[in-house]
Structure 1
Amino acid sequence: MQSEATFLLATNDGFIKQTTIQDLIPKAYKKKSAVVMKLKTADSELIAAQPTKKDHEVLVVAQTGLALRFALEDVPVVGSRTAGVKAIKLGAEDQVVAVLALDPADRFLAVVTNQGTFKYSLIEEITAGHRANKGLQVLSPRKTIDYAITAATALTPDQGALRIRTDRLQTFDIQLADHSLSTRTSNGQALLDVKRDGQATAIFPLNLQEND
């Protein structure tokens, strides 16, 4: 049983942990920052830091279109200076693009790909498993087109608007009502012109963010 608030922390190379908020408070007087997670390599990046609740699940989404869903209790609560444990089994060239702390109300997974396609599908189609496994495919591999996920988020049924940001500092707002619900392995519908607009680096529900 967790006695104090925790944060879910994860990296692009597939490591994950929970750390208590108390452990994130700097110990030294007047110290303004603290280490929150040990990184394994020079290319490792922290990509997720989210507060957790005991009824949360975890959804890990990898670039190649693999997604793994498992219970939050599979993720140990450890100190801030540790690297954590393996979240998902990755291929040699793969990396994690999103780690989501799923609330029970979250129903949809929305993703954008390197080809500029967008889709949203039911999270329940991603069967719950165990941490450190390979996961299920949420894109359909193609011989002639290399599809990869660049951004992902979870949605509740009442979150009908999303914002997408690209690496060329472009912003696009979309309405779910303009898009059909996709199956788990669909590659989505054309949305962005990546040559003109750049590739998506973030996607999030508009009603969870300040409009800017």
Structure 2
Amino acid sequence: MSNSKTEDVDVPPLADTSSFRAPPATARGARTRAALVAAARVVFERDGYLDARLTDITAEAKCSTGSFYTYFASKEEIFLAVIEAAQHDMLHPGFPRLDEDEASPAAVIRASNRAYLEAYKRNARLMLILEQVAVIDPKFREVRRARSRAFAERNARGIKRLQAQGLVDPELDPVVAALSLSGMVGRLAYNVFCLGDKATMKQMVDTTTRLWINGLKLKDE
């Protein structure tokens, strides 16, 4: 919904990396660490978080277990590194920045929905793992809740602007409307890209955009 670069900064990160060790001091070390993170993503997406083993990750990265512990303390920590590497694409997919003075609200909604759905599709296997980990890890579940709330509040600000302009239903609670409509798009993406329900990208973009417009009672300009 948002079309402002400045509003991206209030979305909290998915991974808390404050406890990570200092970055490798050498180029070789940086390559080894990056190879481990890439290998871990392959293994997590293939086997799931619970069944992923450190020995499989080191085998995929073609390095020793000792090398693993040079950079990471545990499976949980390298999972957070995988999320850190992917989260920019998942949180800020970079949809075309439309000129707010020229783009209609409907065009902004469509661009936002398309960007979200395309980013979800690129990261669908990882998103499925995130669902799994959120069920078993209360800390991660709380991070996801805070992130969803931040997205909703950001979109709510956009809805409030449209209400002030007389373009959408003034009786809607902006936050609840944003939670409802954003949740609809997220659940559709999960059902199609993770569970195998059938819908084309065009169908998904067209339908979610129409439901956003209808739900807000957005007036044609």
Which has the larger Rg? 2
TM, length-normalised to structure 2: 0.22
Specify which structure has the higher proportion of helix: 2
Specify which structure has the higher proportion of strand: 1
